Chains A and B, each alone.
Chain A
Amino acid sequence: MNERAEGTRDPGEQRRLELALAALAGLAVAGFVVGVNAGAGDARVTGAVPEHAAMPAEVVAKAHGVTPAQPYKALAGMRRGVNAAWKSDVKLLAPELSDRTQGPKTPASAAAVKQAVAERAERRAYDGAPPVVPHPVQQRGGLACLSCHAKGAVLGEGIERRVASAISHPELTNCTQCHVEQANAQWGPQHWPEASASTFVGKASPTEGPRAYPDAPPQMPHSAHMRERCSSCHGPTGPEGLRTSHFERQSCQQCHTASADDDQRAVPGFGARFPVGAGTPPWPAPQR
């Protein structure tokens, strides 16, 4: 084998390849025939008549054998329902989070939100600032921070309990570029006081996002840029006031939209403040 020049094939291998190709062709033909016949004569799909306008949703649903759509308000009471085909088992979804898998069933109280927001604000100069690092950093090697913050971790119990939030952007490895330590191992808080000589007042943290109407899912009140992992704050290990009441749902942006303005996604020609012109790829060739 080793002496044979590259590009030639041994005869056995060639035969096997031909057989495989023939089988594949056969399957494709069969699949096509089955496919075009499927669904033929299915009146429930093709024969739907829009007579439901004046009828209650349940009646329409029963007549057509489908599950009625529910208002968002009603979902809170319904979504954990069990049927023959599906049984809720959050433990299977996120076994590592077993200590809090049940989570809150109702949205957090206003007081809890307020407390969570205040705690959050302590670690940020303004809403949107990268949080400061509340513990000493002894960084040796770019991955040091990720040993706790890659997946997130809960350390200690009771009043000692600390949560290392999972980072949304582990691909950015120079962590201390943005996150500044506030508990330098060498110089403790006794060296801080004069820093209060600042009158800077930061943008306040939001307590909730805007809603289109009372029961609508709120829009994200903050940028999603570098904060795509919602569960870091809103998941079961997040502070009570930020925790979602339905954390078994994994696709947050399905219902909670991000703000184009917060995310700086304004499109040129559609009211962008800085139209993208020169200085943006692709660059034309130089004209001489």
Chain B
Amino acid sequence: MSQANDRAHPQNDALSPADAVSADPVSRRAFIKLSAMAAATAAAATHLSDATAAPARKGPAAGATGVTWNKAPCRFCGTGCHVEVGVDKSVPGGKVVAVRGAQKAAVNKGLLCVKGYHVGGALYGRDRLTTPMLRVDGVLKPVTWDKAIDVMADRVLKDPKGFAIYGSGQWTIPEGYAAQKLIKGGLSNNHIDPNARLCMASAVTGFLGVYGVDEPAGCYEDLDAADVVILWGNNPAEMHPILFSRIVDRRSRGQKVELIDLTTRRTRSSDHADHVMIFKPQGDMAIANGVAHLLLKDGTYDKAFVQKHLNFRHNPDPDKPSLFGKPMTFEAYKKALEPYTPEHVEALSGVPAAQIRLLASRFANPKLKITSLWCMGMNQHTRGTAVNTMVHGIHLLSGHFGKPGDAPTSLTGQPSACGTAREVGTLAHALPGGRIVKVPAHRAQTEKLWNLPAGRINPKPGYHTVKMWEQFTKPTDKGGDIHTIFVQVTNPGQSLPNLNHLFNDKKDLKDKFLIVSDVYPTATTVLADLVLPAAMWVEKNGVFGNSERRTQQWFKMVEPPGQARDDCWQTIALARRLYERGHAGMRDKDGKFLFDIKDAAGKSVPVWDWAHYYDVNVDKALFEEYRGFTTLKHKDLAPYDEYVKAHGLRWPVVQTKSGTWRETRFRFSEFDDVYVKKGAEIDFYHSKTKDGKAQLWFHPYTPPPELPDKDYPMWLCTGRVLEHWHTGTMTMRIPQLRRAMPHSYVEVHPKDARKLGVHNGDKVVVESRRGAVTLPVWIEGRGAVVEGSVFVPFFDERGLINNVTLHLFCPISKEPDYKKCAVRLRRA
């Protein structure tokens, strides 16, 4: 039993020796020996240094025989590559033994990245969680699933108003939909939010503010057609490698594509760029205004486009910004931008005036096709919504929109941030299909589709991520009214900002209860009271939605290990237990269970009983129900079976007169989008102003909330590396990826290293006003920071940089800024 306990404690786990960074080989050997002795299975623990040792089990024979191939989207980033998964069915339950890029998939055309090629390994870490565990007297002890579900139901019934679900963009669409229905349609408290809030919330509010509806209009085909690609604080060479090589490999075919890298640090993407423009943190706002200023001053903006398609908007009181602001005239807009001369922008951003002029000259040229890409750099930003609207703005102002190659496109980090978090709307204020809880009509539509009594859905938004965790880690008697959080498919104990404020305080609060469903022990399970073993990726059915509006389906291919079960089942099982124990919210208006799933003959299947969960395709049933929500915002989805046949389809997927289903590549463009009015060319048919026009925003440059000063003289930027994704819980258990990047580090400029007197590998303390972490120095490592700033990747649970980061967030999107705060360094 103690072995099972150890599994849930990262500090006892192979991944988490207290100070693995210092790496004393003797203690590690002793440790491995101990782990091996503790291992319940007969399989010997292999040492990595002994890589040539024969594996315990032989892989299947060569050739196609012995391996069954089937399709699935990769489960790491939001690019949405399709992989073909090779399964050895001769092993009981089946095992994934190989992966290859699907050559017919339009997203990746047969290619993958290092993570994608090794995604199969994510299932086979030795310390997979395989049994539910409940903390009793401070120790996690195995319990039955029945007991676990009972404990969860107890926590809900104690006070349904204080029970929250925290998920992520790694939820499949049906999983997120089930959790959404449980919270908003069942418990009526709206406390559900995804960690996508920490990732792309500013992109959402950016799209809403400009177009009145979320998600990019363009698609990956833009990358094949663009003459100029601009990276706004984005490093796709490491974060979206498939999309990056799609751009740079065009040069091998003799095509010319100019890559402009706007960045605060040199990266692998910079290595391929024609122009690298290094800006000071927050300088992106000044740069966007500088481009708009020059377009207006030189008269090179697209006058016809402005006339036909744009309105102007701003927030008159910058201290009280709102998503839709107030209208302004074109003249006022022009006047507001007058101060942003190239020289002024140079002073604000550090980018030389000549480079600002160069950038503006690209937008001024109507013959060029320009695609902008961005991701966390612009989203994890205390002015995230503003800067998103500003980059859309310069594309619209210059008319670089709506033609293949002319697109402002935000990328996402999680495989279904778009499909689940954004489209299903697993956010505290949202309902499925672009609806929000505040709008009575949206609530009524949702109640109708869910067959709920009128008034079931609470009009008050629930707590967004930062607020939810604040309320959870605040003592109950001080107003902390969230008593239980059920975490699925994410690792907030590592990914929340300022962990000392938002997570670590849970430790001493006896009446707070943390439920964590995961596949491995994580920084979150350390404080969990109930740990649930989850099935992952091809151990279950699933549907994801990627960054280009593409919805992708896959089937279960192998059995999950031990007692691990689907997250969607966990949600339905909890709902059923609540139903059985009389919670009125678990019934629709006819008294039927919320998740009444029927088989082909129309008979209800008891899917809450695991033995019957796969008697019917629950994913299909939930997806078909969810489809009813998707037409309001013209994000129409095809029937489930159409996705079975395709490598994903981009919405709106519209049925043609011949009965086939047609996807849409270029939204709002008449030549491709069926919902555009005939003759309109471009039609923003969800315009906030209801005139088919997009909103062009003015935002003044505002300095970041925390600047380096005498006490904390350096900038800290956090981010990712090619090899690790999410919080490293999966990729750190894949030998090939872990060997490449075995632990975190702090990237230091040579001059700063000299000042500190440190060399490569020396340990330094990185500390802010909020916390500290000790890390080894890497001078001019994977990237190259500018003097006076440091960079730390966040994947390593043994060096939690989020003890240091800031939890201030964008006032509109509520997304925190992980990219800039003040720190100091000292030798450890």
Given the interface contacts A192-B739, A273-B69, A284-B656, does A126 sit within 8 Å of B249 by beta carbon? Answer: no
B753 within 8 A of A: no
Q: Does B635 contact A (CB under 8 A)?
A: no
User: Is there a chain B Cβ closer than 8 Å to A199's Cβ?
Assistant: yes
Contact A191 B742 (CB under 8 A): yes
| Count of inter-chain pairs, beta carbons less than 8 A | 283
Contact B650 A264 (CB under 8 A): no
Q: Are B114 and A180 in contact (CB under 8 A)?
A: yes
Q: Do B51 and A122 touch (CB < 8 A)?
A: yes
Of the residues B15, B48, B638, contact of A192 by C-beta under 8 Å: B48
Within the complex, the shortest CB–CB distance from B658 to chain A, in Å, comes to 9
Contact of B648 among A129, A140, A186, A279 (CB under 8 A): A279
Q: Is the CB of B249 within 8 A of A173?
A: yes
Is B49 in contact with A189, judged by CB distance below 8 angstroms?
yes
Does B581 count as interface, using CB distance less than 8 angstroms?
Answer: no
Given contacts A197-B15, A198-B124, A202-B97, contact A284 B662 (CB under 8 A): yes
Nearest 9 interchain pairs by C-beta: A206-B62, A171-B252, A204-B59, A200-B124, A286-B674, A177-B241, A191-B742, A203-B98, A195-B738
What 1/0 flags go to A100-144 for Cβ under 8 Å of B?
A: 000000000000000000100010011111101000000111100
Contacts of A262 in B (CB 8 A): 63-64
Contact of A179 with B by CB under 8 A: yes
Q: Are A141 and B271 in contact, with the CB atoms below 8 A?
A: yes
**Complex-state Cα separation, A176 to B248, whole angstroms:** 13
Partner of B241, one of A174, A206, A222: A174
Chain A residues within an 8 Å CB radius of B427: none
* Residues on the A chain within 8 Å of B249, using CB: 171-174
With A177-B244, A264-B110 as known contacts, state yes or no: A197 contacts B14, CB within 8 Å. Answer: yes
Contacts of A288 in B (CB 8 A): 674, 678
Is there a chain B Cβ closer than 8 Å to A270's Cβ?
no
- CB atoms of A132 and B248 under 8 A apart: no
Instruction: Give chain B residues whose Cβ lies under 8 Å from the Cβ of A192.
Output: 48-49, 735, 738-739, 742
* Docked-complex contact A261 and B64, CB < 8 angstroms: yes
Most buried by B among A132, A259, A279: A279
Query: Is the CB of A276 closer than 8 A to any CB of chain B?
Result: yes
How many A residues, CB 8 Å from partner? 74
Is B242 positioned at the interface, with any CB of A under 8 Å from its CB? yes
**Which has the most chain B C-beta neighbours within 10 Å: A122, A126, A130?**
A126
Contact A196 B46 (CB under 8 A): yes
Q: Mark A249-288, 1 if CB is under 8 A from B, else 0.
A: 0000000000101111000000001111111100111111
Complex alpha-carbon distance, A128 and B60, angstroms: 13
Question: What are some 28 contacts across the A-B interface (CB < 8 A)?
Answer: A125-B118, A126-B98, A129-B117, A132-B736, A142-B271, A142-B272, A170-B252, A176-B237, A176-B722, A177-B242, A177-B244, A180-B736, A180-B740, A182-B736, A184-B740, A186-B761, A186-B781, A194-B15, A197-B125, A200-B123, A204-B61, A221-B62, A226-B110, A264-B100, A278-B649, A279-B649, A283-B663, A287-B654
A171 to B249, CA, bound (A): 6
Q: How far is the CB of A223 from chain B (nearest CB, A)?
A: 7
CB of B646 within 8 A of chain A? yes
Q: Determine whether B206 belongs to the interface, using a CB cutoff of 8 Å to chain A.
A: no
Contact B47 A287 (CB under 8 A): no
Contact A181 B740 (CB under 8 A): yes
- For the complex, give the distance between the alpha carbons of A226 and B112 in Å: 12
Determine whether B559 belongs to the interface, using a CB cutoff of 8 Å to chain A. Answer: no
Give min CB distance, A206 to chain B, whole Å.
3
In the bound assembly, the distance between CA atoms of A129 and B84 in angstroms comes to 12
A179 CA / B660 CA spacing, docked (Å): 40
B106 touches A279 (CB 8 A): yes
Q: Which residues of A sit under 8 angstroms from B671, Cβ to Cβ?
A: 285-286
**CB < 8 Å: which of A197, A223, A275 contacts B645?**
A275
The stretch of B20-28, B160-168, B184-192, B364-372 in contact with A is B20-28
Given known A274-B645, A279-B648, contact A264–B84 (CB-CB < 8 A): yes
Give A40 to B814 CA distance when docked, in angstroms. Answer: 88
Contact of B660 among A194, A210, A278 (CB under 8 A): A278
Q: Please, which residue of chain A has its CB at the minimum distance from the CB of B638?
A: A278
Name which residue of chain A comes closest to B779, CB basis: A186
The answer for the CA separation of A221 and B25 in the assembled complex, in Å, is 41
A94 interface hit (Cβ, 8 Å): no
Asked if A19 CB lies within 8 Å of chain B CBs, one says: no
For residue B102, CB closer than 8 A to chain A, the reply is: yes
Indicate if the CB atoms of B60 and A180 lie closer than 8 Å: no
The answer to the question of A178 belonging to the interface, with a C-beta cut-off of 8 Å to chain B, is yes
A207 contacts B62, C-beta separation under 8 Å: yes
B62 touches A283 (CB 8 A): no
- Whether the pair A178, B111 counts as a contact (CB closer than 8 A) is yes
Contacts A196-B48, A277-B660; is A205 near B62 (CB within 8 Å)? yes
Q: Is B506 an interface residue (CB 8 A)?
A: no
B120 contacts chain A at the CB level, 8 A cutoff: yes
Closest to B646 in A: A279
On whether A274 and B646 interact (CB within 8 A), knowing A126-B99, A130-B117, A193-B47, the answer reads yes
- Output the nearest chain B residue to A259 by Cβ-Cβ distance: B64
Question: Given A177-B244, A177-B245, is A194 in contact with B20 using a C-beta cutoff of 8 Å?
Answer: yes
Least CB separation from B269: chain A residue: A174
Interface status of A201 (Cβ within 8 A of chain B): yes
CB neighbours of B28 from chain A (8 A): 193-194
Residue of B nearest to A194 (CB): B14
Residues of chain B contacted by A128 (CB below 8 angstroms): 86, 98-100
Question: What is B's interface to A at a CB cutoff of 8 Å?
Answer: 14-15, 17, 20, 23, 25, 28, 32, 35, 43, 45-52, 55-64, 67, 69-71, 84, 86, 88, 95-100, 102-104, 106, 110-114, 117-118, 120-121, 123-127, 237, 241-242, 244-245, 248-249, 251-253, 268, 271-272, 638, 642, 645-650, 653-654, 656-657, 660-665, 671-674, 676, 678, 722-723, 732-743, 745, 760-761, 778, 781
Residue A151 at the B interface, CB < 8 A? no
A128-B100, A201-B56, A264-B102 given. 7 additional CB < 8 A pairs? A129-B117, A176-B268, A180-B739, A192-B738, A273-B70, A286-B673, A288-B678
Are the C-beta atoms of A201 and B97 separated by less than 8 Å? yes
Q: Give A182 to B737 CA distance when docked, in angstroms.
A: 8
Q: How far is the CA of A118 from the CA of B54 in the complex (A)?
A: 10
Chain A residue with Cβ nearest B761: A186
B248 contact from A174, A197, A273, Cβ within 8 A? A174
Task: Decide: B650 and A279 in contact? CB cutoff 8 A.
Answer: yes
Residue A190 lies at the interface, judged by CB distance under 8 Å to chain B: yes
The closest CB in chain A to the CB of B249 belongs to A172
A213 interface residue (CB < 8 Å to B): no
**Contact of A199 with B43 in the complex, beta carbons under 8 Å:** yes
Do residues B674 and A172 form an inter-chain contact, with CB atoms below 8 A?
no
Please indicate the chain B residues that have their CB under 8 angstroms from the CB of A162 in the complex: none
Q: Name the B residues within 8 Å of A222 (CB-CB).
A: 62
- A127 with B733: CB separation less than 8 A: no
Least CB distance, B795 to chain A, in whole angstroms: 14
* Closest CB in chain B relative to A277 CB, distance in Å: 6
In the complex, what residues of B have CB within 8 A of residue A223's CB? Answer: 100
B112 and A202 within 8 A (CB): no
Q: Which residue of A has the minimal Cβ distance to B67?
A: A203
- Distance, CA A113 to CA B381, complexed state (A): 56
- For the complex, what is the distance from the CA of A128 to the CA of B86, rounded to whole Å? 11
Q: Please tell me which one of the listed residues B56, B117, B742 contacts residue A178 in the complex, with CB atoms under 8 A apart.
A: B117
Contact of A197 among B672, B733, B740 (CB under 8 A): B733
| CB pair B46 A174 closer than 8 Å | no
Task: Give the residues in chain A near B251, CB-CB below 8 Å.
Answer: 173
- Write out the residue numbers on chain A whose beta carbons fall within 8 Å of the beta carbon of B102: 264
In Å, the complex CA distance between A204 and B732 comes to: 23
Smallest CB gap from B644: residue in A:
A274
Chain A neighbourhood of B51, CB < 8 A:
122
Which residues in A have their C-beta under 8 angstroms from that of B638?
278
- Give the distance in Å from the alpha carbon of A193 to the alpha carbon of B742 in the complex: 9
Of A193, A264, A276, most buried by chain B (CB within 10 Å of CB) is A193
A229 within 8 A of B: no
CB distance from B720 to the nearest CB of A (A): 14
B271 touches A201 (CB 8 A): no
Nearest A residue to B723 via CB reads A180
